[in-house]
Amino acid sequence: MPRPVLSKKDFVRRYKAGEFGNASLTWDTIAEYLASDYQGLVHLRNRLKGGSTVYNQTREQINGRCYGPGEDWYVSAMAPHDCNLLQGEVQQGVWGLELYCSPVVGAPMREALHECSFSLRGLSALQILQAKMNDTSWQWLQYLIEAYPQHVVEFSCFSRCWGTVPGFNTVYWEVRRY
């Protein structure tokens, strides 16, 4: 069984290494991103728990941005949120799966959950996850929940496959117990 994920910095290192499965293309630093050929929109993410995030940034916006002291940014490609089916957080609870999610199309997870969200448990949570995830994504989610007990798994499901691993319609944004 893998060791627990107890800090955001540890999570980011393991995420970039591919430990948690399908992910968004990610660069460890802004400099690494700027040195790449990637031309699509990106998402500035923070290594601090609860840290700020900046969505839908162009290469020019990233290159011209001032970065404050103590901010520890990394960069991920923006997901195709116009294809959202469901996104949120899931974990194993006492009575089965516990799901906090949003069906909002066109918005990243934080914005979607703020706009419209609901919670499901047990069979209801299982049914909606199975309905929105393709078989590969569903099997991998089951692995994550089993391999990382007492962890929350953040995810986004899309109407098409997208991410670093072919054949997945779900990206796993975070696996955490912090």
Q: How much is the mean pLDDT over the chain?
A: 94
Does residue 68 or residue 127 have the better pLDDT?
127
Q: Where are the domains of the chain?
A: 25-77, 81-176
Lowest mean pLDDT of 1-15, 45-59, 157-171, name the range.
45-59
Q: Residue 52's pLDDT is what?
A: 85
pTM given for the model: 0.94
- Mean pLDDT value of segment 96-102: 98
With 60 as the cut, is the pLDDT of residue 129 above it?
yes
With 80 as the cut, is the pLDDT of residue 68 above it?
no
Q: Residue 48's pLDDT is what?
A: 85
- Taking a C-beta distance cutoff of 8 angstroms, is the pair 57, 43 a contact? yes
Residues with Cβ within 8 Å of 53's Cβ and at least 6 positions away in sequence, in order, are 43, 44, 45, 46, 108, 110
- Mean pLDDT value of segment 31-43: 95
Q: From edge to edge, which strands make up the β-sheet containing 26-27? A: 26-27, 73-77, 42-46, 54-57
With 60 as the cut, is the pLDDT of residue 80 above it?
yes
- Mean pLDDT value of segment 88-117: 97
Q: Residue 71's pLDDT is what?
A: 64
DSSP per position, 57-102: E-HHHHHH----TT--EEEEEPP-GGGEEEEEEEEEETTEEEEEEE
At 45-61, the pLDDT tens digits run 988 888 889 999 999 99
Split at pLDDT 50, 70, 90, the class of 176 is very high
Q: Residue 50's pLDDT is what?
A: 82
